[in-house]
Amino acid sequence: MVNYKYQIKAVTTDAVVFSMINQKLNCLLIKRNIEPFKDFWALPGGFLKTNESSDDAFERELIEEAQFGIEGLNYKNQFKSYSNPNRDPRNDKNYQIISIAYVGITNEEKISKENIEIKGGSDASEAKMFPVSDIFSKYKNEIAFDHIEIIEDAKNYLAEKIEKESLALNFLDSEFTLTDLRRVYEELWDRKLHPSNFERKINSIDNFIIKKNKTKLTGSNRPAQIYKKGRVSKILIVNNS
């Protein structure tokens, strides 16, 4: 290309994969094995190859860096791009790296069913799930690039979506309790919900969840009703905080 007068742009993808583990919101991170930010934790991701779409790069990087195939996700969507010139130390007046961020939802049942073993590969020496609350606190100085911001934006994106869509169910196994469902909302909304009020609201939505003819004992040795996922996709559960 002759006399190209514009700054060269490079495009990457970043994958924010969430799961509920022990009723806490977790996020998949990899430990970088290359500079910049070698030995820092980061989101799985990397540069688009020649004539590669961002969707394909998102799927490829998840497999390469975390051994996590796309079949392990219950939900995925592109949600935002990041172009702050200061977001990557490799940026300069001639070169800028822009990231396209994706969010995904999985659960332990799905990971087990698809025989996924999360581990590092390619540019990543390790890969594992971290509680999001820990990422935002004790690990915040060990996270590369602007990935704290991306994780927070992805969490807020889902926090809004679960008000009007049944996405919260993607965090849950095929059978679950109302406490399990309530914990998803509490983790994404960052606040406690009144159990009885939450139960009334959920049960007022036709075909959102379906009661099964079984219970299980909880930690307090009290029987909890078991539910399965319904078929409705549009709901309304307003976050009144």
Alpha helices in the chain (DSSP H): 54-66, 108-113, 132-135, 147-164, 178-189, 195-203
The pair of structure tokens assigned to 131 is 């509680």
First CA to last CA across the chain, in angstroms? 54
Query: Does the pLDDT at position 143 exceed 80?
Result: yes
Catalytic hit among 64, 108, 109, 126? 126
Give the largest CA-CA distance in the chain.
Answer: 74
pLDDT of residue 151: 98
Entry pTM: 0.94
User: C-alpha distances in angstroms, 67 versus 59, 122, 127, 234, 240?
Assistant: 10, 10, 9, 33, 39
Rounded Cα distance between 22 and 19, Å, is 10
Residues in the chain: 241
The domain locations on the chain are 9-162, 165-229
Q: Residue 214: which region, alpha, beta or left (left: phi > 0; alpha: psi -120 to 50)?
A: beta
Q: Which CATH architecture has domain 165-229?
A: Orthogonal Bundle (1.10)
* Residue of 158, 38, 69, 55 whose CA lies nearest to 101: 55
221: phi then psi, degrees, rounded to nearest 5? 65, 25
* pLDDT tens, position by position, 32-91: 999 999 999 999 999 999 999 999 999 999 999 999 999 999 999 999 999 999 999 999
Q: Is the peptide bond prior to 195 cis by the omega test (within 30 degrees of 0)?
A: no
Query: Does the pLDDT at position 150 exceed 90?
Result: yes
Rounded Cα distance between 241 and 224, Å, is 27
Rounded Cα distance between 56 and 21, Å, is 28
Annotated active-site residue 126? The verdict is: yes
Query: Does the pLDDT at position 137 exceed 60?
Result: yes
pLDDT of residue 6: 86
pLDDT of residue 7: 87
pLDDT of residue 5: 80
What CATH topology corresponds to 9-162? Nucleoside Triphosphate Pyrophosphohydrolase (3.90.79)
Q: What is the mean pLDDT of residues 200-219?
A: 90
